[in-house]
Chains A and B, each alone.
Chain A
């Protein structure tokens, strides 16, 4: 057995993990443990932009960004955290630029910004008496806030952070897969990981451990997520009694490539792209009369489903079109510059999107519209944390010493019931940085706590048991059934009936999962074994998602209960905390949403009053 000791261990080398590593390693001994080479992380797949109210192209404020974040999250967002996010976004963007991030530039050499769904500012000419449809009738109008590097902003962030880690000499354990947390007396004291190339187990003894393992979109059939996104961090913590927050809120991005789910950035619509149904109708005009195609993602995804259900999909099928042709942008006057655009402009703004469509659809988006459908994209829920990345023990707000989370695996909660486009990248730089500092500060203040004897024993016996079991059925069948069930019964729309069905199917799948084994018994890159263990994580998280969704009898943001179509602030203006009990989901508790009050005429009033969410 291999033993390592670091003040700080960071699990995951995406944006949050690398940002935290840059901060923590300035103060304390730090190592990053990642099952992928860092540059393979899924932050690199983010496309359109990262929001910050730099006001480089037009007036904007971080308060506008905070309002959009809170409204985008259908008011389930913790407001102090949202203000931290939007205020610190500005300095984080400048930091990234100083690190060398190659943002696109304005003619005067500043960072370029583009429109995105749900990014707005107050309309200076707003007049409530104006006739519907008139410019003055819109209380808020789109704003250029998303800083970008063509449509590969995430790639540039990931590369830049990794480059800085090399410069700073951060220690990496590449292709080491975390399989367990070492939890003693309610504290986290390290992790157990397997070295993928040899199957040797390694114990990492630490004072603070950050789980920055990303999302878990692979529980759904059609997903924009990489194969690696199996929620290892949240699932393993959940098994140790750590709660998961707001798991019922899972975002479906409206514009995934038909059947494959590969993401076509919201920047397509920010730059003027329009969605059409099978009848050639710009259907978003019906669902979001003001912002239309730039409404929030949950709104757009539901609209697509409703069009398809009404038989208005293309050719009566389950998809619609996304059209980014210059002539379409000009016809509908959706150009963000206000001036007509040409194909060369579109090609320069969206080069990767065009390449994806040509490669995977055989469609040239310069000349034809692209078939799209909603794709499982982002987990708003995850490990509950405070604004320093400290993981909460329960809904009382007490911490688990030594355990941290940041990025998609965490729930701060700045995304509430539906994440605003580009805020995933903002989240991981802002909270990655804060968490890196906090975990290092905590580590410097205390000695190493002792480890239990043989901390790797549990993992060892788990692996031996999987390898020893006969392959009763291919585990891939179990995964496929989980993905189909989650997509059909716990997707964009849910009811008591579909969720109950999903719950029962998952119980059966868990049973079958525990009774089948793998074919590969080898030690070198036994990726079959690791895929099975990842499936175990996904099954646990799928069960937590369904149980949380069953308990929330309202519709809010991405959680759309057809049997409870209205938002119910009297009962559900609060976060779900779900705990594991034995084999499956157990107790569900609730925690109030953090609301900022301010003094108005001698009375305390909410700074962001609840409103019905319309776009």
Chain B
């Protein structure tokens, strides 16, 4: 495949310089196998060093470079140029969180929501001298939600969150789910109580944007529905994978 000349449109905002966000365009030669991250760094290194973005691992596991790519939330290191439908690449910061500079948003509100759901194992029983036992089925029960990398693609794609940033958002619920359905955990009631609040799971309108945005392909909406179900029935089944509201 040959090189493509891309028009990269970046929504710029440098607080020391711009009163409000503005669009800026760059032309760049890109290899079809390049990642969008490679293209942005090429522009940054060769044309305008002031472009602001976060990145680290560059292969979709650290969660630093979530951004809106052609209108949808993606990790810039997981989108290849060959997958772009046209030669125009539009880049914006993710929505719902305050912009600090260019593609960088303030992640503090996001992490505060995450911390609010008690995202850690709660079990005060004295542990055995070796491992606690957990069957492969019990382990599989919460496998999907252990994969979250806290990139915020889901939360920042959620219309209810855009409208109300006090809503804990999908990522926090995913991380609550990871412990609620862990057979070793004893904190489900406490977490469910937090999520039963007006800013908890009931804000979810089942739009599925979160599921579509997740770079780890976590079934985010399903996880939220499972938490809602646990609240409605008062039961938490940590033993078997149940497919309520099977997604298509």
Q: List the interface of chain A (C-beta within 8 A of B).
A: 36-37, 39-42, 44-45, 54, 93-94, 97-100, 102-111, 149, 152, 155-156, 159, 163-164, 166-167, 197, 226-228, 260, 262, 352, 355-356, 359-360, 474, 476, 518-520, 522-525, 527-528
Q: Chain B nearest CB: distance from A265 CB in Å? A: 12
The answer to whether residues A100 and B184 also contact, given A39-B150, A105-B134, A524-B15 and a CB cut-off of 8 A, is yes
Q: Is the CB of B120 within 8 A of A163?
A: yes
A36 partner, pick from B56, B118, B179, beta carbons under 8 A: B56
The answer to whether residues A227 and B55 also contact, given A166-B115, A359-B60 and a CB cut-off of 8 A, is yes
Q: Is the CB of B16 within 8 A of A524?
A: yes
Q: Is the CB of B59 within 8 A of A42?
A: no
Residue of A nearest to B57 (CB): A226
A interface footprint on B15-33 (CB within 8 Å = 1, 0 otherwise) = 1110000000000000001
Measured in the bound complex, the distance between the Cα atoms of B149 and A40 in whole Å is 8
The answer to whether residues A519 and B120 also contact, given A100-B185, A197-B100 and a CB cut-off of 8 A, is no
Q: Is the CB of A102 within 8 A of B52?
A: no
Q: Chain A nearest CB: distance from B168 CB in Å? A: 15
Set of chain A residues within 8 Å of B118, measured between Cβ atoms: 167
* A-binding segment of B125-133, B189-197, B198-206, B234-242: B125-133
The answer to whether residues A155 and B149 also contact, given A166-B120, A519-B50, A520-B50 and a CB cut-off of 8 A, is yes
The answer to whether residues A156 and B146 also contact, given A44-B57, A94-B131, A100-B182 and a CB cut-off of 8 A, is yes
Set of chain B residues within 8 Å of A262, measured between Cβ atoms: 58-59
Q: Chain B nearest CB: distance from A166 CB in Å? A: 6
Q: Is B9 an interface residue (CB 8 A)?
A: no
Q: Is the CB of B127 within 8 A of A98?
A: yes
Q: Is the CB of B131 within 8 A of A40?
A: no
Set of chain A residues within 8 Å of B149, measured between Cβ atoms: 39, 44, 155
Residue of A nearest to B114 (CB): A166
Q: Is the CB of A226 within 8 A of B58?
A: yes
Set of chain A residues within 8 Å of B207, measured between Cβ atoms: none
Q: By DSSP majority rule, is chain B's interface helix, strand, loop, or mixed? A: loop
Q: Is the CB of B61 within 8 A of A39?
A: no
In the A-B complex, list the 10 residue pairs whose CB atoms are closest, starting with the nearest.
A100-B121, A109-B133, A163-B120, A519-B49, A528-B49, A167-B120, A98-B127, A40-B62, A226-B56, A520-B50
Q: Is the CB of A524 within 8 A of B185?
A: no
Q: List the interface of chain B (C-beta within 8 A of A).
A: 14-17, 33, 35, 44-46, 48-50, 52-53, 55-64, 78, 80, 100-101, 104, 107, 111, 115, 118-121, 127, 129-136, 138-139, 142-143, 146-147, 149-150, 179, 182, 184-185
A152 partner, pick from B44, B45, B147, beta carbons under 8 A: B147
Residue of A nearest to B47 (CB): A519
Set of chain A residues within 8 Å of B111, measured between Cβ atoms: 37
Measured in the bound complex, the distance between the Cα atoms of B58 and A41 in whole Å is 12
Set of chain B residues within 8 Å of A37, measured between Cβ atoms: 64, 107, 111, 150
Set of chain B residues within 8 Å of A359, measured between Cβ atoms: 60, 78, 80
Residue of A nearest to B133 (CB): A109
Q: Is the CB of B56 within 8 A of A40?
A: yes
A44 partner, pick from B35, B52, B62, B115, beta carbons under 8 A: B62
Set of chain A residues within 8 Å of B142, measured between Cβ atoms: 102
Q: Chain A nearest CB: distance from B50 CB in Å? A: 4
Measured in the bound complex, the distance between the Cα atoms of B13 and A469 in whole Å is 25
Q: Chain B nearest CB: distance from A160 CB in Å? A: 8
Q: Chain A nearest CB: distance from B81 CB in Å? A: 12
Interface centre among B61, B121, B127 (most CB of A within 10 A): B61
Q: Is the CB of A99 within 8 A of B121?
A: yes
Set of chain A residues within 8 Å of B115, measured between Cβ atoms: 166
Measured in the bound complex, the distance between the Cα atoms of B50 and A522 in whole Å is 8
